Structure 1
């Protein structure tokens, strides 16, 4: 399956973005609503990923400080292709914005995948809504996945 990622405006698409994130994070992963919607949305860049039928299947955001977060994919689309497409597009946006570093706060089982792609651990493991996470940092110049093969 091919996926298409687009940058979207929070104010114009927040209903759609919230529906996806609520379905994934609030209902499926039991994140509290107040943690999921933390006030950074109006200041962040948002993307939406669609499937071959142009149906939205996921979303993600890039915060002003370079934090890539709120990557939510509907269960049927949690695969390497969709995840890589979202992540690569968000890294592309960070590069466009002139950021030098990107960050993720990922669940512990995903740390090795990020480390393989140029990320380094930052600080100690911390808890967010009862889930242990690790902050990781990557200079955009060290991000190993080819952006253009994933974006087009």
Structure 2
């Protein structure tokens, strides 16, 4: 399988990004729409992954200008394919272009080990968002930190 990953603007790609996030967060995880879609969408840098075989949008993620990574969503049929690595690589690339010193993520508790394996470290105590326990985590941006599994993909702008 091959995938295309693009950095997109909310204003142009909102219908595609919303479709993915509604499937994953609103329908599957029961996150209220008013919490899922916020003002951060307009100012964030977004990544969009499409399946090259059928041109379907299959994953997304965003990073704020301040370095907050969020809304990483992969549709159900693609989760075993490590598509999240594509998104993370793209988001770290944006962070480097923005010359950020570190990035942050609000990790669900069951994903803390995953992010720890990728050079993130916990900050503060566990807190609740939309009824879900979260842990704030950070990763210093260097040439070697915040590594993710290298993926073969086509990056377009």
The TM-score range, normalised by the shorter chain, is over 0.9
Give the drift of 1:83. 1.0
Supply the RMSD in Å over aligned alpha carbons: 1.5
Q: Tell whether the 8 Å contact from 1:3 to 1:51 is kept in structure 2 after alignment.
A: yes
CA distance in 2, matches of 1:128, 1:150: 34
Contact 2:88–2:148 at 8 Å: present in 1 too? no
Shift of 1:72: 0.9
Counterpart contact for 2:3–2:50, Cα < 8 Å: yes
The correspondence of residues 1-150 of structure 1 with structure 2, limited to 5 A, is 1-53=1-53, 54-141=55-142, 142-145=145-148
Please state whether the residue corresponding to 2:87 is helix, strand or coil.
helix
Higher relative contact order (CA 8 A, sep 6+): 2
Give the TM-score normalised by the residue count of structure 1: 0.92
Whether the aligned pair in 1 keeps the contact of 2:65 and 2:98 (CA below 8 Å) is no
Aligned length: 151
How far apart are the structure 2 equivalents of 1:118 and 1:6?
24
1-structure distance, mates of 2:109, 2:123: 13
**2:82 aligns to what SS in structure 1?**
helix
- For structure 2, which runs of at least 5 residues remain unmatched after alignment? none
Distance 1:146 1:99 in 2: 21
Which has more helix, going by share of residues?
Answer: 1
| Matched position secondary structure for 2:48 | strand
In the TM superposition, structure 1's runs of 4+ consecutive aligned residues that sit over 4 Å from their partners are: 149-152
Three-state SS of the structure 2 residue aligned to 1:16 is helix
Normalising by the residue count of structure 2, what TM-score does the alignment of the two structures yield? 0.90
8 A contact 1:89–1:151 mirrored in 2: no
CA offset at residue 84 of structure 1?
0.6
